[in-house]
C-alpha cells in the first residue's frame, strides 16, 4: 500500500533515515565537548594562529595531511601521544583529514624551529629532497588583514586584545601559518621522553659499516638543518671529535626541547649510535 502513496512513502523513508541519524549523530553531542571532555591546558587560537589555520584551510592542506594520532603502536612512535577529544574543542571546522599523502601533523608543534618551517614551505625539496609537496613561497608576499582577523575572532568567540590585533600589522600569511603549525598538538603536556639513563657504552666504535650507515642516516635526518657536511644552517655546526659519545647519543635520542632539536628516539638506539659515530668521527674537514 505504501507503494501507491507517495506522501506516506516520503514520511516512512524520512523516519527510516532519522533513526540511525539520531542515535549515532545527534546523541553523541551529549558526551562530546562537555565538561568531562575538557582539558584545562588546551587554549583557543591566538589571532595569528587562527589566521594561519584559515590559510591552512584555504590551501587545502587537509587533502594530504591528517591531524589525529591513533592509539596504535606505529602511530604513537611516529607522531607522538595519541589524540584526545578535548584537544579539538576550539577547532571549527575539525581538520582530521582522511589521507596521509604527507605525514600526520597533529603533534607538529615544537618539533622543528620556525626557520625550518619557513624554509620548508618556501621550497620543500630543499629540506626533504624527494618530497612531492607543492611550494608555498607566495605566502611570504601576502600581508595579513588585522581588521578581518578581528572579525574572525569575534565570530569564533575567542579571547584577544587590541594589542594582539595591532601586532598583526606587517606580518605575512607565512608567519601566521608557522604560528599555527607550532601550536598543533601542544595543548597537552609532552609525555616525558623515554629518557636514556645509566652508563652508555658505544657498541661499535668507528666501525666502517656503521660509519656508512650513519652517513646515510645523516643525509636523511640531519643535513636539512645542520648542512650536508655538518657545516651548520638552521641548526649549529657539528665539529667532529668534539663530543663525548654518550652525550651526543643522548642529544640525538632525546632531542633538545627548548631550541628546536627534535628527538630521534623513533629511529631506535642502533641507528642513533650509527649517527653518533658518523657525526663524531667522520673525516671530511
Under rule CB under 8 A, which residues in 1-30 are in contact with another protein?
3-4, 6-7, 9-10, 13-14, 16-21, 23-25, 28-29
Question: Which position among 46, 49, 52, 66 is part of the footprint of another protein (CB under 8 A)?
Answer: 66
Using the contact rule CB under 8 A, the part of the chain among 85-93, 107-115, 184-192, 273-281 near another protein is: 85-93
How many other CB atoms are found less than 10 A from the CB of residue 210?
23
The one-character DSSP state at 101 is S
Q: How far apart are CA 206 and CA 200, in angstroms?
A: 16
Long-range contacts of 29-34 (CB under 8 A, 24+ apart): 32/85, 33/85, 33/89
Question: Which position among 68, 263, 276, 277 is part of the footprint of another protein (CB under 8 A)?
Answer: 68
Distance, CA of 154 to chain centre: 27
Write down the least CB distance from residue 135 to another protein, Å: 7
Pick the closer one to another protein by CB: 171 or 271.
Answer: 271
- Site string (134-173) toward another protein, x via CB under 8 A: xxxxx---------x--xx--xx-----------------
Pick the closer one to another protein by CB: 166 or 219.
Answer: 219
**Which residues from 91-130 bind another protein, rule CB under 8 A?**
91-96, 98-104, 124-125, 128, 130
Taking Cα atoms as reference points, which of 109, 279, 268 lies closest to residue 180? 109
**Which residues from 175-214 bind another protein, rule CB under 8 A?**
none
Write down the least CB distance from residue 276 to another protein, Å: 15
Is residue 63 part of the contact set for another protein (CB under 8 A)?
yes
Question: Which position among 90, 204, 243, 281 is part of the footprint of another protein (CB under 8 A)?
Answer: 90
Task: Write the burial class of residue 178 (CB in 10 Å: 0-12 exposed, 13-18 middle, 19+ buried).
Answer: buried
Coil, strand, or helix at residue 103? coil
Q: How far apart are CA 36 and CA 171, in angstroms?
A: 38
Pick the closer one to another protein by CB: 104 or 175.
Answer: 104
CA dihedral 108, 113, 114, 119 (to 10 degrees): -100
**Which residues from 243-272 bind another protein, rule CB under 8 A?**
265-271
Grid cell of 180 as nine digits = 599555527
Question: Which position among 41, 71, 242, 247 is part of the footprint of another protein (CB under 8 A)?
Answer: 71
Amino acid at each position: 500500500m505504501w507503494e501507491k502513496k507517495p506522501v506516506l512513502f516520503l514520511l516512512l523513508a524520512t523516519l527510516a533515515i532519522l533513526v540511525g541519524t539520531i542515535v549515532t549523530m545527534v546523541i553523541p553531542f551529549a558526551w562530546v565537548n562537555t565538561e568531562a571532555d575538557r582539558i584545562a591546558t588546551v587554549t583557543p587560537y591566538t589571532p595569528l594562529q587562527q589566521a594561519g589555520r584559515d590559510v591552512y584551510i584555504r590551501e587545502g592542506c587537509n587533502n594530504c595531511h591528517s591531524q589525529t594520532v591513533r592509539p596504535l603502536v606505529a602511530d604513537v612512535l611516529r607522531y607522538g601521544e595519541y589524540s584526545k577529544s578535548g584537544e579539538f574543542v576550539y577547532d571549527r571546522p575539525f581538520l582530521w583529514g582522511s589521507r596521509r599523502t604527507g605525514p600526520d601533523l597533529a603533534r607538529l608543534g615544537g618539533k622543528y624551529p620556525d626557520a625550518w618551517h619557513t624554509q620548508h614551505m618556501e621550497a620543500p625539496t630543499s629540506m626533504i629532497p624527494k618530497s612531492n609537496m607543492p611550494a608555498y613561497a607566495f605566502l611570504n608576499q601576502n600581508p595579513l588583514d588585522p581588521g578581518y582577523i578581528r572579525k574572525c575572532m569575534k565570530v569564533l568567540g575567542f579571547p584577544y586584545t587590541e594589542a594582539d590585533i595591532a601586532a598583526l600589522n606587517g606580518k605575512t600569511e607565512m608567519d601566521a601559518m608557522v604560528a599555527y603549525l607550532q601550536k598543533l598538538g601542544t595543548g597537552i603536556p609532552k609525555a616525558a621522553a623515554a629518557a636514556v639513563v645509566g652508563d652508555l657504552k658505544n657498541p661499535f666504535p668507528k666501525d666502517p659499516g656503521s660509519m656508512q650507515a650513519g652517513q646515510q642516516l645523516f643525509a636523511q635526518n640531519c643535513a636539512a638543518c645542520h648542512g650536508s657536511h655538518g657545516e651548520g644552517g638552521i641548526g649549529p655546526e657539528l665539529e667532529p671529535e668534539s663530543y663525548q659519545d654518550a652525550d651526543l647519543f643522548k642529544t640525538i635520542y632525546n632531542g633538545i626541547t627548548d631550541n628546536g632539536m627534535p628527538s630521534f628516539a623513533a629511529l631506535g638506539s642502533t641507528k642513533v649510535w650509527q649517527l653518533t659515530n658518523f657525526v663524531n668521527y667522520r673525516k671530511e674537514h
